[in-house]
Protein backbone atom coordinates (compact mmCIF):
# COMPACT_ATOMS: atom_id res chain seq x y z
CA UNK A 1 0.00 0.00 0.00
CA UNK A 2 2.72 2.45 0.99
CA UNK A 3 4.80 1.62 -2.09
CA UNK A 4 1.79 2.25 -4.34
CA UNK A 5 1.20 5.65 -2.75
CA UNK A 6 4.89 6.52 -3.02
CA UNK A 7 4.98 5.47 -6.68
CA UNK A 8 1.92 7.59 -7.45
CA UNK A 9 3.44 10.61 -5.69
CA UNK A 10 6.68 10.21 -7.67
CA UNK A 11 4.74 10.02 -10.95
CA UNK A 12 2.73 13.12 -10.06
CA UNK A 13 5.93 14.92 -9.13
CA UNK A 14 7.52 13.94 -12.43
CA UNK A 15 4.49 15.23 -14.34
CA UNK A 16 4.58 18.60 -12.55
CA UNK A 17 8.34 19.15 -12.42
CA UNK A 18 9.50 17.23 -15.44
CA UNK A 19 11.33 13.90 -15.39
CA UNK A 20 13.80 13.17 -12.66
CA UNK A 21 17.27 14.32 -13.56
CA UNK A 22 20.24 11.95 -13.54
CA UNK A 23 22.62 12.05 -10.58
CA UNK A 24 24.47 15.34 -10.43
CA UNK A 25 28.10 15.50 -11.52
CA UNK A 26 28.98 17.43 -8.36
CA UNK A 27 30.30 14.22 -6.83
CA UNK A 28 32.90 13.91 -9.57
CA UNK A 29 36.16 15.60 -8.51
CA UNK A 30 37.28 18.52 -10.64
CA UNK A 31 33.79 19.46 -11.81
CA UNK A 32 31.82 22.41 -10.59
CA UNK A 33 28.08 22.69 -10.94
CA UNK A 34 26.53 26.04 -11.69
CA UNK A 35 22.90 26.36 -10.60
CA UNK A 36 20.64 27.20 -13.50
CA UNK A 37 17.00 27.47 -14.28
CA UNK A 38 16.16 24.51 -16.49
CA UNK A 39 12.49 25.21 -17.20
CA UNK A 40 11.94 28.25 -19.40
CA UNK A 41 8.59 27.26 -20.86
CA UNK A 42 5.46 25.43 -19.81
CA UNK A 43 4.29 22.15 -21.28
CA UNK A 44 2.03 24.10 -23.67
CA UNK A 45 5.02 26.10 -24.97
CA UNK A 46 4.34 29.41 -23.21
CA UNK A 47 7.36 31.20 -21.79
CA UNK A 48 7.60 31.43 -18.03
CA UNK A 49 7.87 34.91 -16.48
CA UNK A 50 11.26 36.24 -15.47
CA UNK A 51 12.36 35.37 -11.94
CA UNK A 52 11.78 38.05 -9.32
CA UNK A 53 14.76 40.19 -8.38
CA UNK A 54 15.01 41.65 -4.93
CA UNK A 55 15.55 45.39 -5.26
CA UNK A 56 17.79 47.18 -2.76
CA UNK A 57 19.35 43.94 -1.53
CA UNK A 58 22.36 45.59 0.12
CA UNK A 59 20.21 48.23 1.78
CA UNK A 60 17.95 45.56 3.22
CA UNK A 61 20.95 43.64 4.51
CA UNK A 62 22.32 46.79 6.14
CA UNK A 63 18.93 47.56 7.71
CA UNK A 64 18.99 44.16 9.40
CA UNK A 65 22.69 43.85 10.29
CA UNK A 66 23.38 47.30 11.74
CA UNK A 67 20.64 47.30 14.42
CA UNK A 68 21.52 43.78 15.55
CA UNK A 69 25.21 44.68 15.76
CA UNK A 70 24.30 47.72 17.86
CA UNK A 71 22.06 45.69 20.18
CA UNK A 72 24.77 43.03 20.50
CA UNK A 73 27.40 45.58 21.49
CA UNK A 74 25.07 47.12 24.07
CA UNK A 75 24.36 43.72 25.59
CA UNK A 76 28.05 42.84 25.74
CA UNK A 77 28.94 46.21 27.31
CA UNK A 78 26.30 45.82 30.00
CA UNK A 79 27.36 42.23 30.69
CA UNK A 80 31.02 43.30 30.98
CA UNK A 81 29.99 46.04 33.42
CA UNK A 82 28.01 43.50 35.44
CA UNK A 83 31.00 41.16 35.62
CA UNK A 84 33.27 43.99 36.72
CA UNK A 85 30.75 45.18 39.31
CA UNK A 86 30.63 41.74 40.94
CA UNK A 87 34.41 41.33 40.73
CA UNK A 88 34.08 38.23 38.59
CA UNK A 89 36.37 39.54 35.91
CA UNK A 90 38.41 42.60 36.68
CA UNK A 91 41.50 43.32 34.59
CA UNK A 92 44.61 43.88 36.68
CA UNK A 93 46.47 47.15 36.43
CA UNK A 94 50.01 45.94 35.97
CA UNK A 95 52.69 48.57 35.58
CA UNK A 96 55.54 47.16 33.51
CA UNK A 97 57.59 50.36 33.53
CA UNK A 98 60.46 48.82 35.52
List pLDDT tens digits, range 68-79: 999 999 999 999
Any domain includes 62: yes
**Residue 27 pLDDT more than 80?**
no
Any domain includes 77: yes
Number of domains making up the chain: 1
Whether the model pTM is above 0.85: no
Range of the domain at 76: 54-91
Contacts of 19 (CB under 8 A, 6+ apart): none
pLDDT averaged over every residue in the chain:
77
- Positive or negative, the CA dihedral 75, 78, 80, 86 is negative
Any domain includes 66: yes
Any domain includes 48: no
Any domain includes 20: no
Any domain includes 83: yes
Amino acid sequence: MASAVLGRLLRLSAVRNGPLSPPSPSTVPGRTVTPSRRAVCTSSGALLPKPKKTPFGLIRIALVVVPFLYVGTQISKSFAALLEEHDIFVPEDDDDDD
